Amino acid sequence: KSFAIARDIPLIAVNHMEGHIIANFIKNEKTINDFPKFPFLNLTVSGGHTQIVLVKSLDEMEVIGETLDDAAGEAFDKSAKLLGLEYPGGPLIDKYSKDGNNNRFKFGKHKVKDFNFSFSGIKTSILRLVEMEVNKNKNFINENLSDLCASIQHTIVDILIMKIIDASEKL
């Protein structure tokens, strides 16, 4: 905005979240005849945003669900921090989860009305488990890192999938 003002050139406002959706319509050899048909539901999951959008047309989009606290990406990063992993933690959780048992640890899933998201419950659940187990065994995280990461990833992805399925069944 400052650059446009300084140069006295037009500023075109862009809703970057709509940009994520509209990117599905970029033509290339793989997608030329494969565009989504209207209306459709779009789940956008990024580092700072998690939302479900009912896309009626390129000009008509309605956010029907969004995060009430941290986005899914932030939940990954903050969970990784609890495990002592570097930032950004999401890719590290994914890396370590590949060798883990995703059902080994169960973490709380906050129940939120409608199609909104909350990831604060999972972070609290992870924190409590880690504190309790580290008090018993100082090497708990290192000895269980793959299973912890797999369970965290499974829980976050499961929340996302449950919400989009719920929205698709009710709309």
Predicted local distance difference test score (pLDDT) of residue 141 = 98
Predicted local distance difference test score (pLDDT) of residue 163 = 95
Predicted local distance difference test score (pLDDT) of residue 95 = 97
The long-range contacts involving 115-118, CB below 8 angstroms and separated by at least 24 positions, are 115/52, 115/64, 115/65, 115/163, 115/166, 115/167, 116/65, 116/66, 116/67, 116/68, 117/50, 117/65, 117/66, 117/67, 117/68, 117/71, 117/72, 117/159, 117/160, 117/163, 118/67, 118/68, 118/69
Predicted local distance difference test score (pLDDT) of residue 108 = 86
Question: In the sheet where 60-66 sits, what is the strand order?
Answer: 40-45, 50-57, 60-66
Predicted local distance difference test score (pLDDT) of residue 45 = 93
Q: Which residues of the chain have pLDDT under 50?
A: none
Tell if the pTM clears 0.75, that is, is over it. Answer: yes
